[in-house]
Amino acid sequence: MKILMVLTSHDRLGDTGEKTGFWLEEFAAPYYVFLDAGASVTLTSPKGGQPPLDPKSDAADFQTDATRRFKMDLDAQKRLSATLPLTDIVAGDYDAVFYPGGHGPLWDLAEDKASIALIETTIAAGKSVATVCHAPGVLRDVRTVDGMPVVSGRNVTGFSNSEEDAVGLTKIVPFLVEDMLKAKEGQYSKGPDWQSYVVTDGPLITGQNPGSSEATAKELLRVLQKV
């Protein structure tokens, strides 16, 4: 079982002067879910090398068992510091793809041609793509073999407008995940803010927020084990 995890390379939070990147919990929890299940995990990002960590996700309030495990795991830290460039990735080498969130993906992965092609090829091959929190934003420009938006008519979730408003970034992000999914004719639904909520529809598995990261990864494993 080979799983590809795709992380952002974008580190600027719009014009705020603040940093962003990937959200630590949304990487760490799925990473260990996959590893503990015996999966082979490959890490990639648009620029390769060390992907930027959203410094807010490293705050004490957001630490979990998975993030604490990562802080003690020198091998995982080494692997994260040496992600493969996304353009070097061959989609057919993997059984599934997982995108952690953080605000970074809204700027780079949403329009990255290699990422779009990766998702389109994976789905065309009948394989699953899982995204959590802001990462469903990477589906924005992805199309099916028929040329339709990949989320059109599919049940999906992602970081909600109310959650984005709660963190005060509604006017900072390039687009709102909930609004985008609806605009692309996705059948968007959500659970209570900050609670775990995961939706599966065909090849797409989407999680609403950071609290959904572990459940999204476990759902991807469940789907893989059914194949």
What CATH number is given to the structural domain containing 154? 3.40.50.880
4, 65, 96, 225 from 1: Cα distances, Å: 10, 24, 8, 9
**Would you give the DSSP letter of residue 125?**
T
Backbone angles phi, psi at 145, to 5 degrees: -65, -20
Which neighbouring-strand residues pair with 129?
97, 204
Cα–Cα distance measured from residue 129 to residue 76, given in angstroms and rounded to the nearest whole number: 22
Give the pLDDT confidence of 87-108 residue by residue, as tens digits.
999 999 999 999 999 999 999 9
Whether residue 69 has pLDDT greater than 90? yes
**Would you give the DSSP letter of residue 122?**
H
**Mean local confidence (pLDDT), 166-182:** 97
Confidence of residue 21 (pLDDT cuts 50, 70, 90): very high
Which neighbouring-strand residues pair with 208?
none
Whole-number average pLDDT of the chain: 97
Whether residue 227 has pLDDT greater than 90? no
Tally of structural domains, the chain: 1
Range of the domain at 104: 2-226
Chain Cα centroid distance, residue 90 = 18
Whether residue 197 has pLDDT greater than 90? yes
pTM of the model: 0.97
Whether residue 226 has pLDDT greater than 90? no
**Mean local confidence (pLDDT), 194-216:** 97
